[in-house]
């Protein structure tokens, strides 16, 4: 799928949040308006600052998750008329940033995301 970049936010924790317009036409003058936010986070030792990890723990996290890991959030609205598309997309982006922007901008977010993804993968019994 060809993504249309909409906005890029460089966050204080050193990672970028890329926002895309993934909308697609579903009729002569109707759209499904889709906003997708993606943050790619390299799994590096420097990511883990809350608690020291042994080499074995870090290697296991890296082997389990691979690198980079990805945070992805998507909002969509269906059956939007041509003349409303841009305003609806802007509203979806603003809603996401208002409701979730502070959360993903938190300095601990990348580390917490990686640790949660690791725990989830281990609980399901699967590696990469």
pLDDT tens series, the chain, 128 aa: 678 999 999 999 999 999 999 999 999 999 999 999 999 999 999 999 998 899 999 999 999 999 999 999 999 999 999 999 999 999 999 999 999 999 999 999 999 999 999 999 999 876 65
Global confidence as pTM: 0.90
User: Please, what is the Cα angle at 42 between 50 and 123, to 5 degrees?
Assistant: 65
How many angstroms separate the CA atoms of 43 and 61, rounded? 8
How many angstroms separate the CA atoms of 97 and 112, rounded? 19
How many angstroms separate the CA atoms of 80 and 49, rounded? 44
Structure tokens given for 24: 């697609």
For residue 32, what are the β-bridge partners? Answer: 24
């Amino acid at each position: 799928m060809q993504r249309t970049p909409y906005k890029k936010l460089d966050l204080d924790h050193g990672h970028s949040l890329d926002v895309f317009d993934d909308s697609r036409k579903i009729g002569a003058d109707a759209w499904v308006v889709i906003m997708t936010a993606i943050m790619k986070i390299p799994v590096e030792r420097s990511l883990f600052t809350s608690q020291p990890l042994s080499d074995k723990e870090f290697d296991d996290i890296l082997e389990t998750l691979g690198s980079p890991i990805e945070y992805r959030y998507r909002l969509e609205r269906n059956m939007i008329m041509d003349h409303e598309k841009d305003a609806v997309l802007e509203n979806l982006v603003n809603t996401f940033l208002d409701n979730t922007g502070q959360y993903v901008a938190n300095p601990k977010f990348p580390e917490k995301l990686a640790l949660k993804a690791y725990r989830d993968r281990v609980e399901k019994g699967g590696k990469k």
